[in-house]
Amino acid sequence: MKILFDVNMPHPLRQDFPDHEIVTAQFNGWAELENGDLVAAAEKDGFDILMTTDKNLRCQQNLKGRRIAILVLPTNKLKILARIAPTIRAKLNSIQPGKFIEIEAD
Q: How far apart are CA 92 and CA 19, in angstroms?
A: 11
Predicted confidence at residue 57, as pLDDT, reads 74
Q: How far apart are CA 96 and CA 106, in angstroms?
A: 23
Looking at the DSSP bridge assignments, the partners of residue 91 are none
Residues 6+ apart with CB under 8 A from 102: 55, 58, 71, 72, 74
**Tens-level pLDDT at each residue, the chain (106 residues):** 999 999 999 999 999 999 999 999 999 999 999 888 999 999 999 999 999 999 887 767 777 888 999 999 999 999 999 999 999 999 999 999 999 999 987 6
Strands (DSSP E) contained in 15-104 are: 21-24, 49-52, 69-72, 100-102
> Whole-model pTM?
0.92
Q: How far apart are CA 61 and CA 14, in angstroms?
A: 25
* 21 SS3 class: strand
